Amino acid sequence: MSSLVPFFMIGGFVIFVGIAWYINTYNRFIKYRNQIEEAWSGIDVALKRRFNLIPNLIRAIEGYAKHEAELFGKESSRFTGSADVPDRMTEESRLSNSINGLLALAEDYPDLKASKNFFSLQQTLNEIESDIQNARNRFNGVVRRYNTLTESFPSRYIAGKYNYAKKEYFTLELSTQREMTSVDFSSSSKKSS
């Protein structure tokens, strides 16, 4: 009988550790899910601030390029503000491209570009897009930790049991980002050979 006591103690300890691990892992899923929702809220607020800036940009440009401003106004009115990440990425990318086109249009009007009002709006847009980028980085960091937990062994069994599926990262090309011009060195290397 005395040899069974250590066996029960070891067995009890193993069961206790297993239950503690299970509870801890489940709680980590809850924590990451809540952090993802919080981080998404930060992105959503910044995107709404950017969207609310659009009417001011349109008014600033209307006097110089009325037709283009009207087209942009129609494009931005199709915005629905979807809560679904993939749908929202598509909408916001379309909106970013439109804003980028509107800012490029300002290049054709030096008086508009020199306007204090337009410059102020452009600065505000830069600040908002910086906020979007910071919020996106935070969101994607939490999603990375959540996805790692979802796919890791043995926590993936808890993820499967409670339907914790892998989340999608939020990617968005901002309207103030400029593409780097590509440089082709192939023609210069042919001349030197």
**Of 175, 178, 177, nearest in space to 53 by CA:** 175
Residue 98 covered by a domain: yes
Residue 186 covered by a domain: no
Q: Are 139 and 149 in contact (CB under 8 A)?
A: no
Residue 81 covered by a domain: yes
The pLDDT assigned to 178 comes to 47
The pLDDT assigned to 74 comes to 66
Q: What is the pLDDT along the chain (193 residues), one digit of tens a residue?
A: 566 667 788 888 999 999 999 999 999 999 999 999 999 999 999 989 988 888 888 787 777 776 666 666 666 666 666 667 777 888 888 888 778 877 777 777 777 777 788 888 888 988 999 999 999 999 999 999 999 999 999 999 999 999 999 999 998 877 665 443 343 444 444 444 4
**Of 114, 125, 2, nearest in space to 55 by CA:** 125
The pLDDT assigned to 52 comes to 87
Q: How many domains does the chain have?
A: 1
Residue 106 covered by a domain: yes
Domain of residue 44 covers: 11-172
Which burial class, exposed, middle or buried, applies to 93 when counting CB atoms under 10 A from its CB (0-12, 13-18, 19+)?
middle
- The domain spanning residue 168 has which CATH number? 1.20.1440.20
Residue 2 covered by a domain: no
The pLDDT assigned to 187 comes to 45
The pLDDT assigned to 138 comes to 96
**Of 72, 69, 53, nearest in space to 61 by CA:** 69
Residue 122 covered by a domain: yes
Residue 177 covered by a domain: no
**Tokens at residue 167, please?**
């989340």
- Secondary structure element (H or E) that encloses residue 71, with its range: helix 66-76
DSSP 114-160: H-HHHHHHHHHHHHHHHHHHHHHHHHHHHHHHHHHHHHSTTHHHHHH
Residue 182 covered by a domain: no
